[in-house]
Structure 1
Amino acid sequence: MLYLTQRTANPGPVTGRVILPIDLRVKSRVKVTLDDGRAAGLILPRGLLLRGGDVLTDADNQLFVAVVAAPEALSVVHCADPFVLAKACYHLGNRHVPLEIIPGELRYHHDHVLDDMLRQMGLTVGYAQLPFEPEAGAYSAESREHGHHSSHHHHEHPHEHNH
């Protein structure tokens, strides 16, 4: 089995691809299958979120495997009013919903209850199969390390949430 142990900024020729949903791109230890059928193990630092386009390598820098974000079932919210979009982000964030935020658009794992809540707020909600690249938490290792956005990480904090 191949073991991929680090992300690299200076890859050599890509020798394989691994297609992963967000739930596997946030794990530090996981068995995966490359697109050519080879088995591989990811042994990565905790708190690292893999993004589509990242390249992983082994300890000897001999293998270079490109990460591809798999299409997933997403709710896609459109809104031209930044204030209404900010309110939607507030309500979803208060529920600890991982969000991908794009100008005029939000994406989250498809959830009909959340879809209905946002429609009641006057937002347009659709459905699509797309790669999911959620925002980083402000205190995530990923956002400090590389300036990338990262996945939803639970955190300890003293304030209350209205769920």
Structure 2
Amino acid sequence: MPLPLSQTKIHAHEVDDQITLSYEDRFLRRKVLTSDCGARFLADFPSTMSLEDGDAFVLEDGRKIGVRPADEALLEVTGDHLLRLAWHIGNRHMPCQIETGRLLIQRDHVIREMLHQLRATLRDVVEPFTPEGGAYGHGRTHSHSHGDADPAAPHAH
């Protein structure tokens, strides 16, 4: 039986165990999870959370389970016009990890072809994926809130 989870998301420096999760798996509201050492627990937040590297679950018995990003199949993007390439990626609402001299995105054959046409240098890599949070997404780029605006009203991006 999974242990209930404290509904407090904390930043922990010392943990009793870890859980390694993909980018998609770090976005959750309610789910039974299993730590890297086999501890099962229920994550049950009042609303969907975006977990980041270094966050921790605090179990009812006081144990802390640290969150770390899993290695994922990614596309490394480099080139002479990196800001322009980043703009094209962002214009397609793609999660993007921005680093000095390179961008990392999830592999997508359509985006790969677009970047190839833009003369980007592309390389398949396998590493943890921690993309930049969106302005409205609080850690996720696909949130689509427009504040108090009427959700049925047309809007531009």
TM-score under structure 1 length normalisation:
0.80
User: In proportion to residue count, which structure has more strand?
Assistant: 2
Identity %: 33
Indicate which of 120, 138, 141 corresponds to 1:123: 120
In structure 1, what residue type is equivalent to 2:71?
P
List alignment gaps of at least 5 residues for structure 1: 143-149
Indicate which of 102, 106, 129 corresponds to 1:105: 102
Structure 1 residue 87 displacement after superposition: 1.6
In structure 2, what residue type is equivalent to 1:7?
K
Indicate which of 3, 6, 9 corresponds to 1:7: 9
1:69-148 equivalences in 2 (<5 Å)? 69-79=69-79, 81=80, 84-140=81-137, 142=138
Residue correspondences, number = 147
Q: Aligned partners of 1:88, 1:131: CA distance in 2, in Å? A: 21
Seen in structure 2, the aligned counterparts of structure 1 residues 39 and 98 have a Cα distance that, compared at 3 Å, is: same
Check if 1:153 corresponds to 2:131: no
Seen in structure 2, the aligned counterparts of structure 1 residues 101 and 30 have a Cα distance that, compared at 3 Å, is: same
Q: Aligned partners of 2:11, 2:136: CA distance in 1, in Å? A: 22
Look up the match of 1:29.
Answer: 30
User: In proportion to residue count, which structure has more helix?
Assistant: 1
List alignment gaps of at least 5 residues for structure 2: 147-154
Runs of 4+ residues over 4 Å off in structure 1: none
Look up the match of 2:151.
Answer: none
Q: Aligned partners of 1:85, 1:96: CA distance in 2, in Å? A: 17
Seen in structure 2, the aligned counterparts of structure 1 residues 66 and 156 have a Cα distance that, compared at 3 Å, is: closer
TM-score under structure 2 length normalisation:
0.82
